[in-house]
Chains A and B, each alone.
Chain A
Amino acid sequence: MSRPIDERAPGVSAKIREFFFAEEVPWSLALLRICLPLVLLVPVLQRWPHVRTLYSSDGAPAPMWINFGHPDLLPIPGPTLAVALYAALVFCLVATCVGWRTRLSLAATTALYTYFTLLDGITTLTKYTVIASHVLLLLTCSGCGTVWSADALLARGREPRWPGPADGPKCPVWPRRLIAILVGVVYLGAAATKMHTTGYFSGDQMAFWMQTNLNMANPIGERVSLYPAWLVVASYTVIIWEIVFLFLCWRGWGRTICIALGYMFHLMTGILLGLVIFPILYITLYLALFNEWDIRRLGRWLRRGGRRFVALGSALRVIAWRPGLPAIRPIQSLTAFGTLLATLVVANVEIEHRRDVYGERRPEGRHVLQPIDPQRLAMLLDEAQGLDPVDKMFSFDIGTELLGEVLMDRRREFLHGERAIIQCSLQPSHEDLFVEVQVRDGGDRIVQRTGNVIPRENLRGNLFYTLDRSLEPGEYTFVMRIDGKEVARKSIRLREG
């Protein structure tokens, strides 16, 4: 068996040529072609009932081109056309997944998916949809439909067994390379963003994100946000990994480590930040980092496992089963494709019409707007003139060790002689503030007062306070005050050292 194309090593220009134009059986791109539509179908089907509202002129589309100052860049479809095109998008995603009229399906999916995402810039278009548009375009240019596809099955004889000793149809490797490069470039761009972002390296930005309620629920993230020292370590680890990924992801241990860290990173974005589709989609794209050789090796492992484990063997036999279909000519396949597509489109238009999403054909008539509750109205119209000092404070902690800018150990018990670090963290944005800290004894009497100016470019200020023997052992409270008002307090117990 020949060596994998990734490991051949001729001269520089030949290397580049080989890197992009060597040929391989596109197993990994076929896997990607199967998996990517399945991932994309989740948000696409979720929005299917709302097509009229999100994407048609009879609703409230939010075209992204308006945000960029091009008000009439693309047309906004009428409701019937939007519903019809959306049905076509769903059909093409399914056809792409099964590999039926693959290139046509992929081309249509690329165009329709990108168009619909652009039509709703507030709840459909995100960076993962942009990445998906890139990958769909690259898959359209690839030979991903030549294996593991309905097209190959229908044209019997073209479908090689997986992973056959001989070879399926070979295709140039450049689409897979470009997808892999895209994966790495996105990480590089994300690293540049993090470098630009104030509060990234101190963990503040991640902590705030974990406390945000705009993504899915992330209870573990909310808990982790209370331990910013971990976020400092994670911030540096992530940015280093993002920068080196593009350069190390191609072979050997570098690839193994990069991919393992990638799986971990995306898993954590799901757990800690409440992201769902983005991590699943991105992990799917890692398939482009595997070459023909890797897939063959995977096949060998699976076959070996199938001989050892009965259940796995049975599953492999089911996957390898091929129905005994008669050979179908391309024109017949295309006709069936068109007929099914037209049927789905017409059915969807009719169903959507009957759904009457705005309730305008209800027996009781159109919905009637109800006046807003006066109390709620008063609350909404009560315009803020400034912030309460309590809302300028993010946290108030006492410990003894710093990592980066944040406290590693928040403590409630101290020994005589220890130097306490009193950390006052503020909400962004704030003016230049004088933060006063009072030390009070068990009877809430002020023992000492101190303070610090926190300029507006800083999110926190630290005060160092030695708990010397002038303080009797016992209970003490540190009180943080802004604008003369108490905004937080922390109790500690001081013991004999």
Chain B
Amino acid sequence: MLRRCSAVFVALYLGTLAYGLVSHAVGYKTYRHLGMYFIVWDMYCGWSGWETRTHLLGEGESGTYYELDPPPWGDICVFGDTGRRHYDATGMHALRLAQNTVAHTEHEPIVRYLVIEEAWAKKYNLPDELWALRYEAPREFRSYHRIRAAFDADGELTLGAPGWHAWLATQAVGNNPRLRKDVQRGTPVFTAGDFARDPSVVMPVGHQTYSRD
């Protein structure tokens, strides 16, 4: 009996591993549910030429802004010296991080939360001696900021914008007068796939806009 149960377990386990492998290889329901995270081995997939960081701001009813992370009691850095908020690649948990600081501090009523993404080219991460080996021009660090989301006092989303990589891909695709003209005409609408394997892939997501006439 025990051996039979073991055989069933072995078969189920191997079947599950095989399903995850095939699902990932051919892109079939790869991220359909949480269980897939346990059988899809997609390490190293999200690395790009840009380093990004997240900043969380709260706006008081007086119009004063407060930086909500790192909190006054200290940052949580588990990988080197980078704070926890920066690992939230999707920005899905940023509001909760901000609200936690608000919940445990004294302050005027907060009426708005802002999630700001900062990005810079990774070449600026090189230390000076390596920079000098690679580039003749002196380093002039430059980073870009974009508001990724805004929430009202109750945590309702009032503004949502694509993340840095999606925005950049959209900019790259949209830099085409003919395409822009077509988009303005209303058909078809194109966008860059946020999760596409190739940043150059163009995915049609819209089809028709209806005339008011």
Q: Chain B nearest CB: distance from A481 CB in Å?
A: 13
A149 within 8 A of B: no
15 other A-B residue contacts (CB within 8 Å) besides A360-B104, A429-B192:
A66-B93, A118-B34, A134-B38, A141-B9, A190-B43, A192-B25, A212-B47, A213-B51, A367-B106, A368-B105, A369-B105, A369-B106, A372-B67, A395-B135, A489-B136
Q: Chain B nearest CB: distance from A43 CB in Å?
A: 7
CA distance A432 to B140 in the complex (A): 25
Q: Chain A nearest CB: distance from B98 CB in Å?
A: 8
Do the beta carbons of A432 and B73 come within 8 Å of each other?
no
CA distance A226 to B199 in the complex (A): 23
Do the beta carbons of B96 and A217 come within 8 Å of each other?
no
Do the beta carbons of A431 and B17 come within 8 Å of each other?
no
Residue count of chain B within 8 Å CB distance of chain A: 98
Do the beta carbons of A123 and B78 come within 8 Å of each other?
yes
User: Which residues of chain B come closer than 8 Å to A118, judged between CB atoms?
Assistant: 34
A-B contact pairs, 23 of them (CB 8 A): A47-B78, A53-B76, A64-B37, A68-B33, A138-B13, A172-B6, A186-B41, A189-B20, A189-B40, A211-B125, A212-B47, A215-B80, A360-B104, A366-B104, A372-B67, A376-B67, A377-B57, A380-B145, A384-B146, A386-B171, A391-B120, A394-B49, A491-B136
Residue count of chain A within 8 Å CB distance of chain B: 103
CA distance A223 to B107 in the complex (A): 46
Do the beta carbons of B121 and A394 come within 8 Å of each other?
yes
CA distance A122 to B97 in the complex (A): 11
Q: Chain A nearest CB: distance from B90 CB in Å?
A: 6
B183 within 8 A of A: no
B-binding segment of A54-62, A285-293, A326-334 = A54-62
Q: Chain B nearest CB: distance from A308 CB in Å?
A: 43
Selected from B21, B47, B107, the residue in CB contact (under 8 A) with A208 is: B47
User: Which residues of chain A come closer than 8 Å to B38, judged between CB atoms?
Assistant: 130, 133-134
A418 within 8 A of B: no
Q: Chain B nearest CB: distance from A366 CB in Å?
A: 5
User: Which residues of chain B come closer than 8 Å to A219, judged between CB atoms?
Assistant: 127
CA distance A185 to B18 in the complex (A): 8
B157 within 8 A of A: no
CA distance A131 to B160 in the complex (A): 34
User: Which residues of chain A come closer than 8 Å to B112, judged between CB atoms?
Assistant: none
> Within residues 10 to 67 of chain B, which ones have a CB less than 8 A from any CB in chain A?
10, 13-14, 17-18, 20-21, 24-25, 31, 33-34, 36-38, 40-45, 47-51, 55, 57-58, 64-67
Question: Secondary structure at chain B's binding surface: helix, strand, loop or mixed?
Answer: mixed
The 5 closest A-B pairs by CB, nearest first: A189-B41, A431-B175, A384-B144, A367-B72, A62-B93
Do the beta carbons of A427 and B10 come within 8 Å of each other?
no
Knowing A380-B55, A489-B137, the reply to whether A427 touches B104 (Cβ < 8 A) is: no
Max count, chain A CB within 10 A of own CB: residue among B34, B51, B165, B168? B34
Do the beta carbons of B137 and A67 come within 8 Å of each other?
no
A197 within 8 A of B: yes
Selected from A70, A133, A178, the residue in CB contact (under 8 A) with B10 is: A178
B212 within 8 A of A: no
CA distance A387 to B171 in the complex (A): 10
User: Which residues of chain A come closer than 8 Å to B3, judged between CB atoms?
Assistant: 21, 172
Selected from B34, B51, B93, B106, the residue in CB contact (under 8 A) with A122 is: B93
Knowing A123-B76, A219-B127, A371-B65, the reply to whether A365 touches B106 (Cβ < 8 A) is: yes
Selected from B79, B125, B142, the residue in CB contact (under 8 A) with A123 is: B79
User: Which residues of chain A come closer than 8 Å to B173, judged between CB atoms?
Assistant: 431, 456
Do the beta carbons of A60 and B50 come within 8 Å of each other?
no
Contact with B along A29-64 (1 / 0, CB 8 A): 000000000000001001100100110000111101
> How many Cβ-Cβ contacts under 8 Å join chain A to chain B?
264
Contact with B along A419-436 (1 / 0, CB 8 A): 000000001111110000
User: Which residues of chain B come closer than 8 Å to A112, judged between CB atoms?
Assistant: none
CA distance A196 to B60 in the complex (A): 46
Selected from A193, A456, A491, the residue in CB contact (under 8 A) with B24 is: A193
Q: Chain B nearest CB: distance from A242 CB in Å?
A: 10
Seen from chain B, the residues whose Cβ lies within 8 Å of a Cβ on chain A are: 3, 6-7, 9-10, 13-14, 17-18, 20-21, 24-25, 31, 33-34, 36-38, 40-45, 47-51, 55, 57-58, 64-68, 71-73, 76, 78-80, 82, 84, 86-88, 90, 92-93, 96-97, 99-102, 104-107, 116, 118-123, 125-127, 130, 133-137, 140, 142, 144-147, 165, 168-169, 171-173, 175-176, 192, 197-200
Knowing A368-B105, A380-B145, A430-B172, the reply to whether A174 touches B42 (Cβ < 8 A) is: no
Do the beta carbons of A427 and B50 come within 8 Å of each other?
yes
Do the beta carbons of B87 and A127 come within 8 Å of each other?
no
Do the beta carbons of B172 and A193 come within 8 Å of each other?
no
A370 within 8 A of B: yes
Q: Chain B nearest CB: distance from A237 CB in Å?
A: 16
Max count, chain A CB within 10 A of own CB: residue among B49, B122, B144, B172? B49
> Within residues 152 to 207 of chain A, which ones have a CB less than 8 A from any CB in chain B?
172, 174, 178, 181-182, 185-186, 188-190, 192-194, 196-198, 204-205
Which residue of A has the minimal Cβ distance to B17? A185
CA distance A377 to B68 in the complex (A): 13
User: Which residues of chain A come closer than 8 Å to B64, judged between CB atoms?
Assistant: 371
Selected from B21, B93, B200, the residue in CB contact (under 8 A) with A121 is: B93
Do the beta carbons of B65 and A214 come within 8 Å of each other?
no
A472 within 8 A of B: no
Q: Chain A nearest CB: distance from B55 CB in Å?
A: 6
Do the beta carbons of A456 and B136 come within 8 Å of each other?
no
A247 within 8 A of B: no
CA distance A125 to B38 in the complex (A): 11
CA distance A52 to B80 in the complex (A): 21
Selected from A62, A185, A222, A427, the residue in CB contact (under 8 A) with B130 is: A222
User: Which residues of chain B come closer than 8 Å to A430, judged between CB atoms?
Assistant: 172
Q: Chain B nearest CB: distance from A110 CB in Å?
A: 12
User: Which residues of chain B come closer than 8 Å to A182, judged between CB atoms?
Assistant: 17
User: Which residues of chain A come closer than 8 Å to B6, judged between CB atoms?
Assistant: 20-21, 141, 172, 174
Knowing A121-B93, A193-B41, A197-B44, the reply to whether A20 touches B142 (Cβ < 8 A) is: no
